[in-house]
Amino acid sequence: MNFELETASLPSENLRRVAIDPVSRVEGHGKVTILLDEDNKVHQVRLHIVEFRGFERFIQGRPYWEVPVMVQRLCGICPVSHHLAASKALDLIVGASKVTPTADKMRRLMHYGQILQSHALHFFHLSSPDLLFGFGSSLGFTLALVLFAGIRERLDGADVPLAFKGTAIAMITAGFMSLAFMGFAGLDRFQ
């Protein structure tokens, strides 16, 4: 059966088109189109994923050990996820069905590192600007950053286990701070 891709074919009475383009609160490229009638009643809303690159085609024919490094470039925020997905796919190809404990731990550590980084990133870069910008942005944003910088300075002197020194501990603190700032989430309703 050949299903028609559903598309915004404008019905007879003309609807006004409003586009949020680009959608910037997410990694990757998207666009939201909203069709409203005269009294602003929404009829149709669509999220369009506008980016097509063709990784799935041009990794074909490449040496298999290059693929994990190539597919990292699918996303600059979650490269580790794509890297690990490719590695797992290659496990089957190279017959490493049973992964050694060290490899497994390393993969988990990489993934946790990214989760921490993503949370901090999502909060400070993707969602907080909406909250803080609506609230005298430079002040709010600076507040968050100064706190973060201050904590990191204190960490320099602190007795941090070797494995966590540097970026790792910074990411963990950022993670906790992002949980703390979640408290502001409800303020939007007072716009």
Partner 1 sequence: MATAELEDILERHRRDPLRLLQILIELQARDGWLPPATLSAVATALGLPRARVESTASFYSFLHTHPAGDYRILFSDNITDRMLGNMALMQALCGKLWLEPGKVSEDGLVSVATTSCTGMCDQGPALLANGRTITRLAPERIDEMAHLIRRRVPVGDWPPEWFHVEDNIRRRDVLLDHGLAPGQALAVALDRGATSILGEIERSALRGRGGAGFGSDIKWRSCRDAWGDAHYVICNADEGEPGTFKDRVLLASYFDLVVDGMCIAGMAIGANKGFIYLRGEYRYLLDRLETRLAQRREQGLLGRNILGCGFTFDIEIHLGAGAYICGEESALIESLEGKPGKPRIRPPFPVTNGYRGQPTTVNNVETLALAALIAVRGGEWFRAIGTPASTGTKLLSVSGDVERPGIYEFPFGVTMAEVLDAAGACDTQAVTSAGAAGHCLAADEFGRRIAFEDVATGGSIMVFDASRDMFEVARNFAHFFAHESCGFCTPCRVGTAVNARLMDKLAADHGSPYDLDEMAKMHRLMQGASHCGLGNTATIAIDDIVAKFRPAFERRLHSPEYEPAFDLDAALSQARRMTGRDDPGAHLGDNLEALAEERAHARDAAKPAPSSAAESAPSKDLQP
Partner 2 sequence: MNDSFLLDGEDIPFTPGQTVMQAAAAAGKYIPHLCWHPDFAAHGSCKLCTVKIGGRFATSCTVRAAAGQEVENRTDELDAKRRTLLQLLFVEGNHFCPSCEKSGDCALQATAYEMGMLTPHFDHFYPDRPVDASHPDVLLEFNRCILCELCVRASREVDGKNVFALAGRGTRSHLVVNSDSGRLADTDFTASDRAAAVCPVGVILKKRLGFTVPIGARTYDLNPISAMGANAGQQADSRANAAHEKEVG
Partner 3 sequence: MAHEYLNDTTSPSAAATPRKLKVATVSLAGCFGCHMSFLDIDERLLPLLELVEFDRSPLTDIKHCGPCDIGLIEGGVCNAENVHVLREFRANCKVLIALGACAVNGGLPAQRNHLALADILQMVYRTGHGLAEGSSIPDDPELPLPLNQVHPVHEVVKIDYFLPGCPPSGDAIWAFLTQLIEGKAPSLGHGLLHYD
**Contacts with partner 2, residue ranges (CB under 8 A):** 61-63, 65-66, 69-70, 73
Alpha-carbon distance of 130 to 23, in angstroms, equals 13
Contact range with partner 1 by CB under 8 A, out of 16-24, 84-92, 170-178, 179-187 = 16-24
Contact range with partner 3 by CB under 8 A, out of 36-44, 66-74, 87-95, 183-191 = 66-74
Among 10, 11, 19, 65, binds partner 1 (CB under 8 A): 19
The tokens for 23 are: 């959608």
Number of Cβ within 10 Å of residue 128's Cβ equals: 21
* Amino acid code (one letter) for 28: G
Identify which of residues 42 and 145 has a Cβ nearer to partner 3 in the complex: 145
Place of tokens 């949020």: 20
The tokens for 147 are: 């706190």
User: With contact defined as beta carbons under 8 Å apart, do 27 and 79 qualify?
Assistant: no
Among 12, 13, 40, 54, binds partner 3 (CB under 8 A): 54
Identify which of residues 69 and 109 has a Cβ nearer to partner 2 in the complex: 69
User: With contact defined as beta carbons under 8 Å apart, do 126 and 100 qualify?
Assistant: no
User: Which residues in this chain contact partner 1 in the complex, by CB under 8 A?
Assistant: 16, 18-21, 24, 34, 129-130, 133-134, 137-138, 188, 191
